[in-house]
Amino acid sequence: MKKLIFLFVVLFSMNVFSQHEENSIVVKDIETQLPIENAIVFIMKTKQTLISNKDGKVIFALDGASSIQVSETNYEKVTIRWDALKPDLFVIYLKNNSNKLDEIVVSKEKPEKNLQKIISNSRQKLANSYRLKVYVREFFMLDNKYSYYNDGLVNFQFEENQNKSTTTLLVEQNRSYGLLEDEVSNDLMGYNLNNIMENYSNFKYFDPLLDSKTKKEYEFTTTGHPNNKNYYIMSVTPLDKSKKEFDTFEIIYDPIKKLIVEFSIIIKQANLVQIEEQTKVGSKNITRSQIKVSYRIDGEDYYLLSSNEEIAYDLILKDKVKNIQVRNNFITTHFTRQNFTYSDSDVFKEKTLFNKKNKVMTKYWDISGFTATDEEKRLIDGLEFKM
């Protein structure tokens, strides 16, 4: 019976998508006329969330009219009314919030102590029972050539827990294109989806900033957000004398709700130079590393909105060195507090989508929440052709 209910939900979703019309929006800066990347487009009728790509573009399916909310941290939020009479491509302009300079935030409490409270509160808020429908995609490069691509429409069921988020993964649809060499397949099999989602929800990346020993290797500074009066920015940089810590953190948070809105972690080029090069077979020498993760605060709801991780490293083999680059995206398209009805056999127990047989029922990637650019489409089509 549970399987029948789950199947009905999938088929119903397919039927709904087939009835909707596709629409396009491009988000631009009203002053510069340039596209805005990572703008949040929220379709209020369907509760779908989309993120604009490098061209500022989103594609969504909608039957009839709906109010649409468009926002980005550095811009004023706008809400428009969309109906079926609009043209296929519509431009929405956002106005920059402000041009004021950063203001140092003065507090009786040390920034590192404040950060500990913010992380703890954010973890507790996320350690709840809810479900996220997420579009996942990964690009892989081997020796500077695109060699593999996968994406999928998946569901993460979060179990309520007082201090820590745990997830169950169900895969609706997925596809994989490209060829991999056997000797590097372990490095090109993609991220462990459950692990990475749990890391985002438990803020695992901040462990060095909370550890009593390693946090001494960093300098903490808090400023007001230059373009959003509701947020603060905490910058955490490794001290010049540090020989162990190389990541630079930027954390945007709501000081009233004590919730993290966005964080980014990068290893700057100057710090990469300080990392000792490894020569042992199997070693990985990082050449680029950056992470950007954002969260949505919607009334009492708080959940992961999007993430982008990029890493590049030289893999030391017996007779040569291979450069591997991976780019991973998570885009939450729907949030609900209604739990899934599923059986154990429905649960995806593999670590990645690498070995899962392609399962395509709809063109889910076109209305996934993150529209591929023309360049990305050419890359994906080229890898599909090689299959």
pLDDT in tens, 141-173: 888 888 889 999 999 999 877 677 888 899 999
* Residue 121 sits in the same domain as residue 59: no
What does the alpha-carbon distance between residue 207 and residue 212 come to, in Å, rounded to a whole number?
A: 10
What does the alpha-carbon distance between residue 169 and residue 371 come to, in Å, rounded to a whole number?
A: 23
Q: pTM for the complete prediction? A: 0.86
pLDDT at 101: 52
Question: 100 in a domain, yes or no?
Answer: no
* Residue 123 sits in the same domain as residue 62: no
C-alpha torsion 254→258→263→267, nearest 10: 120
* Residue 70 sits in the same domain as residue 211: no
pLDDT at 286: 87
What does the alpha-carbon distance between residue 144 and residue 290 come to, in Å, rounded to a whole number?
A: 18
In the block, which residue shows the tokens 């047989």? 357
Mean pLDDT by 10 residues, the chain (387 residues): 39 44 88 93 89 92 86 89 69 79 65 92 92 93 89 90 81 85 55 88 93 89 87 91 82 96 90 78 88 93 94 89 91 89 81 79 88 91 76
Question: 366 in a domain, yes or no?
Answer: no
Angle at 382 between CA 378 and CA 385, to 5 degrees: 140
pLDDT at 13: 45
What SS3 state is found at 59?
strand
* Residue 280 sits in the same domain as residue 215: yes
What SS3 state is found at 356?
coil
Tokens of 299: 């009334």
Of 31, 64, 94, which one is at a domain's C-terminal end?
94
Give backbone dihedrals phi and psi of 149, rounded to 5 degrees, phi first: -150, 140
Largest CA distance in the chain: 63
Structural domain containing residue 132: 111-361+374-386
What does the alpha-carbon distance between residue 311 and residue 286 come to, in Å, rounded to a whole number?
A: 8
* Residue 343 sits in the same domain as residue 205: yes
Of 52, 69, 94, which one is at a domain's C-terminal end?
94
Give backbone dihedrals phi and psi of 17, rounded to 5 degrees, phi first: -60, -35
* Residue 37 sits in the same domain as residue 117: no
* Residue 85 sits in the same domain as residue 137: no
Question: 380 in a domain, yes or no?
Answer: yes
* Residue 26 sits in the same domain as residue 155: no
Sorted by sequence, the CB contacts under 8 Å of residue 83 that are 6+ apart come out as 64, 65
What's the number of domains the chain is made of?
2
Question: 105 in a domain, yes or no?
Answer: no
Q: What is the CATH number of the domain that holds 25?
A: 2.60.40.1120
Question: 212 in a domain, yes or no?
Answer: yes
Question: 104 in a domain, yes or no?
Answer: no
Question: 103 in a domain, yes or no?
Answer: no
* Residue 51 sits in the same domain as residue 195: no
* Residue 165 sits in the same domain as residue 284: yes
Question: 99 in a domain, yes or no?
Answer: no
* Residue 61 sits in the same domain as residue 148: no
pLDDT at 345: 78
Of 59, 94, 129, which one is at a domain's C-terminal end?
94
* Residue 60 sits in the same domain as residue 205: no
Name the amino acid, one letter, at 285: N
Q: Kindly give the pairing relationship between strand 166-178 and strand 145-159.
A: antiparallel
DSSP string of 241-276, one letter each residue: T-SS--EEEEEEEETTTTEEEEEEEEE-HHHHHHSP
What does the alpha-carbon distance between residue 267 and residue 248 come to, in Å, rounded to a whole number?
A: 6
